[in-house]
């Protein structure tokens, strides 16, 4: 049985059916805060997720001892230094 194969003439390779069926979709994204217990500034960690339906089952927030975290805004929010500088550049 013969089947046709789509070929990209620009790069001269076969085009995957998956690529042909790919669509741009808007996924939900939310930012949530996790309060830091017994913090004198009442600060919270900020987390970003594209799977908000998993939030009710979150039991912990992981942090990386290799990252630098900074306090920003009032009330204070805590995020990685890299994220804070990225947000600052977007403003």
| Token pair in block for residue 74 | 């009032």
Which of the four pLDDT bands, split at 50, 70 and 90, describes residue 91?
A: very low
Domain boundaries, the chain: 26-90
Q: In whole angstroms, what is the distance from residue 81 CA to residue 70 CA?
A: 6
- What average pLDDT does the segment 25-33 reach? 80
Find out whether 34 and 45 touch, Cβ atoms under 8 Å.
Answer: yes
Q: What is the pLDDT of residues 39-90, one digit of tens each?
A: 888 888 888 888 888 888 877 888 888 988 888 776 666 666 655 555 555 4
Residue 30 above 80 pLDDT? Answer: yes
């Amino acid at each position: 049985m013969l089947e046709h194969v789509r070929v990209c003439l620009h790069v001269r390779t076969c085009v995957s059916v998956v690529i042909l069926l790919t669509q741009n979709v808007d996924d939900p994204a939310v930012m949530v805060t996790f309060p830091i217990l017994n913090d004198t500034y009442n600060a919270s960690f900020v987390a970003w997720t594209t799977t908000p339906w998993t939030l009710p089952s979150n039991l912990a927030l992981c942090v990386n001892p290799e990252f630098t975290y900074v306090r920003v805004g009032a009330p204070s929010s805590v995020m990685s230094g890299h994220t804070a500088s990225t947000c600052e550049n977007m403003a």
